[in-house]
Amino acid sequence: SQQGEEDPQALSIQEGENATMNCSYKTSINNLQWYRQNSGRGLVHLILIRSNEREKHSGRLRVTLDTSKKSSSLLITASRAADTASYFCATDGQGAQKLVFGQGTRLTINP
Amino acid sequence: GAVVSQHPSWVICKSGTSVKIECRSLDFQATTMFWYRQFPKQSLMLMATSNEGSKATYEQGVEKDKFLINHASLTLSTLTVTSAHPEDSSFYICSARDPRRGSYEQYFGPGTRLTVT
């Protein structure tokens, strides 16, 4: 079953603006990951944040994790047209190898 | 490093026939691979975990006799959709973890789009 719920389901912004996507999950986790999927393609790993971390940065990406609220956010700063894609959060239960994906956010960056 | 390929990238088959999809780890050995299916504008649903040298572990609701998984080597897992029906039309994606990296991230293949007519 799907563990993660993502918000919003779709987001459309102008190039150069920041995009924020949120993810909530239900059970305890070891870590939370964010992936990007371009239309009709496989997924690309973006960033992983461990359960004992609160914030992590990678280039224009900033991820936060609040384990007390069982939620995470992904911020993409200074968005570009190439950032247009679907973004998914994924969690793995403690001790489990498999990932459970959220519903995803479809991000559109308008030039 | 950590590249996963899938073959074919797309396939069209007639209802009632079987189709095999291959997933290969190109530059690492993967003892475990994962198979997902994805319907348009929806998320990925894990179908099964493929373990090298042993039986696959299927998720609840996934028919193991319909979706046959074979993980015969450390670099190859195959998914065979048997007696395909139009409702099996979907995007099938595999992934693998690279044990050398000691991390939890998965590396995904580019996906296979299956259309059953």
pLDDT in tens, A20-68: 999 999 888 889 999 999 998 999 999 999 999 999 999 999 999 999 9
**Are the Cβ atoms of A88 and B41 closer than 8 angstroms?**
no
Task: Kindly calculate the radius of gyration of chain A based on its CA atoms and give it in whole angstroms.
Answer: 13
Task: Give the closest-approach CA distance of A49 to chain B in angstroms.
Answer: 10
Tell me which chain A residues have a C-beta less than 8 angstroms from the C-beta of B61.
none
Tell me which chain B residues have a C-beta less than 8 angstroms from the C-beta of A97.
32, 49, 97
Confidence of residue A95 (pLDDT cuts 50, 70, 90): low
Confidence of residue A1 (pLDDT cuts 50, 70, 90): very low
Tens digit of each residue's pLDDT (9 = 90 or more) over B5-48 = 999 999 999 999 999 999 999 988 888 899 999 998 899 999 99
At residue B52, the pLDDT reads 86
Strands of A2-111 (E only): list them.
Answer: 5-7, 10-14, 19-24, 29-37, 43-50, 55-58, 61-66, 71-76, 85-93, 100-101, 105-110
First to last CA, chain A: 37
What mean pLDDT is predicted for residues B61-81? 94
Tell me which chain B residues have a C-beta less than 8 angstroms from the C-beta of A104.
42-43
| Tokens representing residue B89 in the block | 């039309």
For chain B, the residue count is 117
Specify which residues B11 forms β-bridges with: B114
Task: Give the closest-approach CA distance of B108 to chain A in angstroms.
Answer: 6
Q: Which residue has the higher pLDDT, B13 or A92?
A: B13
Is some CB atom of chain A closer than 8 A to the CB atom of B92? no
CA dist., res. B110 & res. B117, Å (int): 23
